[in-house]
Amino acid sequence: MYTVQSATEYTKLFIDGEYVESRSGEKLELRNPKDDTIVTSHVPIAGEEDVDKAVTAAEAAFNGPWGGFSGAKRAECLVKLASLLEDYLEPILTLDSLTTGNPISIIPTREKNYIKNCLLYYAGWTDKQRGDYFPADDGFVKLVRHEPLGVCVAINPYNSPVASLFVKAAPCLATGNVLIVKPSEKSPLGSLAIAPLFEQAGFPKGVVQVLSGGGTTGALLSKHMRVRKISFTGSVATGKKIQIMAAQSNLKRVTLELGGKSPAIIFEDANIENALTWTINGILARSGQVCVAASRVYVQESIASEFIQAYKERMQAAAKQLGNPQDPQTTLGPLADAASFERVKAMVERGKTEAELLAGGNQQGDSGCFMEPTVFVNPKPDAQILLEEVFGPVSVVMTFRTEEEVLALANDTEFGLMGGVFTRDITRALRVSAKVESGVVGINCISVMNLQVPFGGKKSSGIGREFGEYALRAFTEPKTVLINMNA
């Protein structure tokens, strides 16, 4: 009978349908960012032997019974998994709250619904992998079919570890692939806990495996010669390393969802209340630790005074929401760990010399990784807080006069993941959204994703797309079959 164990009991890797000891013998120590107490010091680190064993098991599963599953049978497994998660997802996500600082208050709604909807959405795609037919006008009938890649790897971020697992697993499994999951070294517990539920839902052993570990484990998977695809979510720096290792090994397929510095453009005719709601929520979600955080806010001069004052007051009020992430009443938690906190704190301190501090800017309390929601205005053109992703509850607010000016400012970055345009003028909304250099643009919204449509970035914010039908193509390879009709 499946049960969610305590954090200290996840001491083994999940390979080929069972928990097994790591051959490396190395362990991770995890701390709770609310007070720096040790959550566990026994999480295994997968080494080379462990990775090889998991890849071998994945290949056997891919070439075994799983390869004979019909689309309908794969859908049945995904639907059953969604049903099982109704009972187990909250305690599983609570495990990750212990090491990420994510408030458990978001589990029953935002997290749980997002994961369930993802599984059900891709369950509907399993028998709709249509190909193409071209007539024999030149003597050849041409068929195109989309085939699974084989052994795929998901390397996931620390901010939303289980949600990211399913965003990658659902389209991967819907198209008939097998998956090895490498969760972040900061938040592996939920992924290790959830692994046995796949077999309970009907997936054969080896179809989904979980290897905990740090960068060394991710590197072993990225350069493995029998892994066919890496799907990575995380920093630009790590994404570049993964792409290099993939290219230098076997040219495995790579999807990279990397950092962002999302601009919110607020024109004078915008619904101010709506713009405030979206931009505040867009920088405070998960304490700013999201790639689509609305970290650059551009406000037209004629409404700047009113907007900035209200924005400042709401960010200051949000500081009162900071608290124990394991308390169901808390909506704003700490940063994920001491390293993240020190990085954000250093950027804020430097920001005080490069811009005007409008709100926040300090650690809250004497212990833990709590950073006040922070607002800067009037930054220097080369200010670090303007140019680099902070990954914390820190935003920069600037003013502009014209549409042309704000587009130049918004696009003056190597990031291109998300943008937002706030206006009641639909023609301007469409015109500006077309010129914002990002993979996703919201009109009268920002920092939001939708499962039905592709998500990903331009420029350094990534390669490839997740979500929607586009994710299915990222986990398949087109094969052309030519039939000589004159043979």
Q: What angle in degrees, to the nearest 10, is found between the helix axes of 112-123 and 71-100?
A: 160
On whether the CB atoms of residues 284 and 319 are closer than 8 A, the answer is no
Q: Which is the catalytic residue, given 257, 389, 437, 466? A: 257
Element (DSSP H or E) covering residue 43:
strand 37-44
Closest CA to 33 of 316, 348, 350, 326: 326
Contacts for 477-481: CB closer than 8 Å, 24+ residues apart: 477/146, 477/147, 477/148, 477/149, 478/131, 478/144, 478/145, 478/146, 478/147, 479/144, 479/145, 479/146, 479/147, 480/142, 480/143, 480/144, 481/142, 481/143, 481/144, 481/145
On whether the CB atoms of residues 461 and 262 are closer than 8 A, the answer is no
**CA pair distance 82, 78, nearest whole angstrom:** 6
For residue 479, the tally of other CB atoms under 10 A from its CB is 11
For residue 68, the tally of other CB atoms under 10 A from its CB is 9
The DSSP 8-state label assigned to residue 106 in this structure reads G
Burial class (CB in 10 A: 0-12, 13-18, 19+), 212: buried
**CA pair distance 454, 447, nearest whole angstrom:** 14
Query: Token match 């970290």: residue?
Result: 295
3-state DSSP assignment of residue 356: strand
What is the token pair recorded at 1?
Answer: 């009978």
The sign one gets for the Cα dihedral 195, 198, 204, 207 is negative
**CA pair distance 149, 154, nearest whole angstrom:** 14
Closest CA to 311 of 371, 269, 264: 264
- Angle CA(169)–CA(171)–CA(175) in degrees, nearest 5? 115
Measured distance between the N- and C-terminal CA atoms of the chain, rounded to whole angstroms = 59
Closest CA to 311 of 348, 273, 349: 273
Burial class (CB in 10 A: 0-12, 13-18, 19+), 382: exposed
Q: Is 147 a catalytic residue?
A: no
On whether the CB atoms of residues 463 and 256 are closer than 8 A, the answer is yes
On whether the CB atoms of residues 132 and 144 are closer than 8 A, the answer is yes
Q: Which residues have a catalytic role annotated?
A: 257
